[in-house]
Chain A
Amino acid sequence: MTKLLEWLLGCSLIGMAWGLVTFDLLDLQLPPQYRELAWPMPVYLLVVFGCYSLATVGYRVATFNDCEDAAKELQAQIKEAKADLKKKGLKM
């Protein structure tokens, strides 16, 4: 089975479980707090995933080490490339 099929299968199983609880299709008569908890679940999981992504990006921006030498080298290469292209007629 391909990864796509695995993910689709997993997601649809979880989706069905959520639907059963939220719309009470099996008349399970769960206590009201658990039903209150269940229906925002898809949106909640999306928001949590978004927060996790944002935190990961932020943390990696904060801990990414500066590379002074590489920065200087890159600036020099940019100048060189600009001069070369101007010579060949490219408008900047």
Chain B
Amino acid sequence: FQATGADQAVGFGLVGFSLLLFTYYTIWVIVLPFVDSDHVIHSYFLPREYSVILPGVAALILLLCVGTFIGVVTWKNRKPKKID
């Protein structure tokens, strides 16, 4: 049996998104330094510092989400101590 409907949509969506991200980021980091600074393509990209700051911020947000999730689940599962 073939994978169906939603599975394929989500799966190929992820593939497409990561390809887009890879292409944009590769042009930003690897191609732009070798392009003349007055070429029009530079207007589509933020200053170079952001190519390091933005992934850093994204990683921090991800860590925050994971930590919050763990905290919420731990809090929900706390049980009162038994009195013997």
**Minimal Cβ-Cβ distance residue in B for A36:** B33
Taking a contact as CB atoms under 8 Å apart, the answer to whether B11 and A63 are in contact is: yes
On chain B, the residues within 8 Å of A40 by CB distance are: 29, 48, 51-52
Taking a contact as CB atoms under 8 Å apart, the answer to whether A37 and B22 are in contact is: no
Give the total number of A-B pairs whose CB atoms are below 8 A apart. Answer: 82
How many B residues are at the interface, by size bracket?
20 to 34
Shortest Cβ distance from residue A51 to the other chain B in the assembled complex, whole angstroms:
4
B25 on interface, CB distance cutoff 8 Å: yes
A residues 43-57 touching B (CB-CB < 8 Å): 43-44, 46-48, 51-52, 54-55, 57
Task: Tell me what chain A mostly uses at the interface: helix, strand, loop, or mixed.
Answer: helix
On chain B, the residues within 8 Å of A63 by CB distance are: 3, 11
Residue count of chain A within 8 Å CB distance of chain B: 27
Q: Choose one: B2, B11, B21; the contact of A51 (CB below 8 Å).
A: B21
Task: Give chain B's interface residues, CB within 8 Å of chain A.
Answer: 1-4, 7-8, 10-15, 17-19, 21-22, 25-26, 29-30, 33-34, 48, 51-52, 55-56
Taking a contact as CB atoms under 8 Å apart, the answer to whether B55 and A46 are in contact is: yes
On chain A, the residues within 8 Å of B14 by CB distance are: 54-55, 57-59, 61
